Amino acid sequence: MNDTHLKERENILSEANKARWDLGIDLHDTVIESIYEDASRIARKAVKQKGEKAAYALDLRIDKIVTSRWLGFPIMFLLLALVFWLTVTGANYPSGLLASFLIDYMHPILKGVAASIHMPWWLDGVLIDGAYLAMAWVIAVMLPPMAIFFPLFTLLEDLGYLPRVAFNMDSLFRKAGAHGKQALTMSMGFGCNAAGVIAARVIDSPRERLIAIITNNFSLCNGRWPTQILIASIFIGGLVPAQLASVVSAGAVVGIAVLGIFFSLVVSWGLSKSVLRGEASAFSLELPPYRPPRIWQTLYTSLIDRTIIVLWRAVIFAVPAGIVIWLVANVHIGELSLAEYFIQWSNPFAFVFGLNGVILLAYIIAIPANEIVIPTILMLTVLITGANGVGAGTGVIFELNSVGDTANILHAGGWTLLTGLNLMLFSLLHNPCSTTIYTIFKETRSVKWTVVSTFLPIVLGFMVCFFTTQIWYLFFV
C-alpha cells in the first residue's frame, strides 16, 4: 500500500469519526433496534408457529407452584434437604468400603512390601505413611459424597428447577448486594467449596460473581461436617443428659451452618459496599423451560467436570501435604520434633484465641483438605501427650472408631468446652482448602482476589474466636 492510499484511509476514518459527533449519543441503540426489526420482519414471513403455547402453559402452571408465596420456600428447603440427606446417608457405605480397602488393607500391604525390599525407614515413612496415606484418606472421604451430590445437583439444574430457586431467593441476596444465583453457588458450597467457586460461572455480572466466589467458603463444606459433628457430640452433647445429646449436638452443628450463611450474607453486603463497590454489575436471570433431564449426560458431565477435577486437584495437593505432615512429626532438632517446636512456640498465641498450637499446626499442614484436619489433630495430640498404644506411629494420621476414645485423647491434650466451641467456629471461619484457593485463582485469574478470599475468612475466624474466648473468660472464669 502506498502513501497516498494510507493518507486517504486516514482521512476517511477521521471524517467518519467527525460524523459520529453529529449522529448523537444513541446511535448504538438505533442500530440494535433496526437489526431486531429486520429479523422479526423476516421471521414473520418465513416461520409458522404452532404448539408452543400449550407447552408453555404447562411450564407456567409448574412455575406458579414452585414460585408461589406459600409453597415456594418449603418446596425448595425440602428438595435441598433431600439432596443433602441422600448424600450423607448414601456416602457412608462406599466411604467405609474405600477406607477399609485403601487404608486398612492396602496400607499394611505396602508397609510389608517396603520392609521386604529393605527400604530405609525414613523413605518408607515419607512415601507410605506420609504421601500415600494422605492421598488415600482424601480419596476415601471425598469421592463418595461428591459422586452422589454433584449428579443430584446437576439433575435439578438440568430439570430447570435451580433457576427458580435463584428467582425466589434473589430478593434476599439483592439486599446483600449479591445475585440470586449465589443461592445456587452457596448450596453447591455445602457439597464442596471448590465446586461452588466453579459454579459461580453462571453469574455473568463481574461484581456479583466475585462476591459469590469470595464468600463461598462460608458454606460449611462436606469436609467440615464430620469435624463439626464429632466435636459437637464430644463437647456440646456432653453438656446435656444422654438422651438429649444427639439432638443438642445436631442443633449446634446446624447453628454453625446457619452462622455460615449469616456471615456469607453480611460479608457479601460489606464487600459490595466497600472494595467491590466499583466493579461492574448487571442483573439477568433466565428462567428456561422445564425439560426431562438427560440422565446419562448429567452423570457424565457432573462426574467429569466436577467430581474428577476437584478430586484430582485435592490429590495433587494431598501428596506433598502428607509428606510435610510426616516430616514435621519425625524431623528432630535436638530433643524435639519440628511439630513440637511449633506447638510449644505457638501455644501462648493460640490460647489468646481459645485454640491451641496443635489446632493451628493442623490447619496449616492439613491445608489440602478439611477432611484430614481431625486425623492430623489426633496424631499431633498423641505426639505431644506421649499417649501409648493409640495411633499407628509417629507422623501417621489416624481416626478412631469410637467417639469416647477420641474424646479421651482430646481431653488428655487439654481440650475444654471452650476449645471445642472455638474449633467449631474456626473450622467454619478459616482459609479455604488449597484446592479451593487454586480454583479461585483459576476462576478469577487475579492474585489480589485470591489473597482476599484466603485471608478474609482467617481474619474473621481469629476475630470471632478471640471475642468468644475473651467474653467467655469475663463471664465464666
Partner 1 sequence: MITLLTVGIQSGILFFLGVVVVLIFFWIFWPKKGLIALFSKIKMNNQRVQLEDALKYLFDCEYNKNLCNMNSIAGNLNISDDSASQLIERLLVLGLVTMDDNTISLTDTGRSYSLRVIRVHRIWERYLADETSVAQADWHNEADRIEHFVTQEDTEKLAAQMGNPVFDPHGDPIPSIDGELPEPKGKLLSNLKKGVTGRIIHIEDEPRSIYEQLVVEGLYPGMQVYVTDVDKGKTTFIANGDECTLTPLFASQITVELLSGTVPLAPKYELLSSLAIGEKAEIAGISPNCRGQQRRRLMDLGVVAGSLVSAEMKSASGDPIGYRVMGATIGIRKTQADLIFVHKKNDTNE
**What is the contact surface with partner 1 in residues (CB under 8 A)?**
14, 17-18, 20-22, 24-26, 29, 32-33, 36-37, 40, 52, 59-60, 63-64, 67-69, 72-73, 166-172, 174, 180, 204-205, 207, 274, 277-289, 352, 463, 466-467, 469-471, 473-474, 477
Q: Which is nearer to partner 1, 441 or 472 (CB)?
A: 472
Shortest distance, position 238 Cβ to partner 1, whole Å = 23
Using CA atoms, how far apart are residues 437 and 451, in angstroms rounded to an integer? 9
Shortest distance, position 203 Cβ to partner 1, whole Å = 12
Q: Which is nearer to partner 1, 123 or 282 (CB)?
A: 282
Using CA atoms, how far apart are residues 399 and 19, in angstroms rounded to an integer? 76
Using CA atoms, how far apart are residues 441 and 453, in angstroms rounded to an integer? 10
Shortest distance, position 381 Cβ to partner 1, whole Å = 23
Q: Which is nearer to partner 1, 132 or 167 (CB)?
A: 167
3-state secondary structure 27-68: HHHHHHHHHHHHHHHHHHHHCCCCCHHHHHHHHHHHHHHHCC
Shortest distance, position 143 Cβ to partner 1, whole Å = 36
Shortest distance, position 140 Cβ to partner 1, whole Å = 40
Shortest distance, position 170 Cβ to partner 1, whole Å = 5
- The number of angstroms, rounded, from the C-alpha of 386 to the middle of its chain's C-alpha atoms is 35
Q: Which is nearer to partner 1, 204 or 405 (CB)?
A: 204
Q: 337 has which bridge partners?
A: 332
* Burial class (CB within 10 angstroms; exposed 0-12, middle 13-18, buried 19+) of 8: exposed
Q: Closest Cα to residue 220, out of 40, 468, 426, 11?
A: 426
Shortest distance, position 407 Cβ to partner 1, whole Å = 25
Q: Which is nearer to partner 1, 38 or 405 (CB)?
A: 38
Q: Which is nearer to partner 1, 105 or 467 (CB)?
A: 467
Residue with cell 446435656: 240
Shortest distance, position 348 Cβ to partner 1, whole Å = 12
Start-to-end C-alpha separation, the chain? 88
Q: Which is nearer to partner 1, 116 or 274 (CB)?
A: 274
Q: Closest Cα to residue 377, out of 335, 337, 406, 348?
A: 406
Which residues have C-beta within 8 Å of that of residue 145, sequence separation ≥ 6? 87, 88, 91, 95, 191, 222
Determine how β-strand 336-337 pairs with β-strand 332-333. antiparallel
Q: Which is nearer to partner 1, 75 or 378 (CB)?
A: 75
Per the rule left: phi > 0, alpha: psi between -120 and 50, beta: everything else, 160 is left
For residue 295, give Cα distances in angstroms to 144, 158, 159, 176, 196: 19, 9, 10, 35, 22
Shortest distance, position 228 Cβ to partner 1, whole Å = 25
Q: Which is nearer to partner 1, 266 or 309 (CB)?
A: 266
Q: Which is nearer to partner 1, 228 or 453 (CB)?
A: 453
Q: Which is nearer to partner 1, 111 or 209 (CB)?
A: 209
Q: Is residue 337 helix, strand or coil? A: strand
Using CA atoms, how far apart are residues 104 and 392, in angstroms rounded to an integer? 11
Amino acid residing at 119: M
Shortest distance, position 281 Cβ to partner 1, whole Å = 5
Q: Answer yes or no: are the C-beta atoms of 211 and 271 closer than 8 Å.
A: yes
Q: Closest Cα to residue 355, out of 329, 381, 379, 330?
A: 381
Shortest distance, position 353 Cβ to partner 1, whole Å = 10
Q: Closest Cα to residue 193, out of 10, 369, 60?
A: 369
Q: Closest Cα to residue 291, out of 42, 48, 59?
A: 59
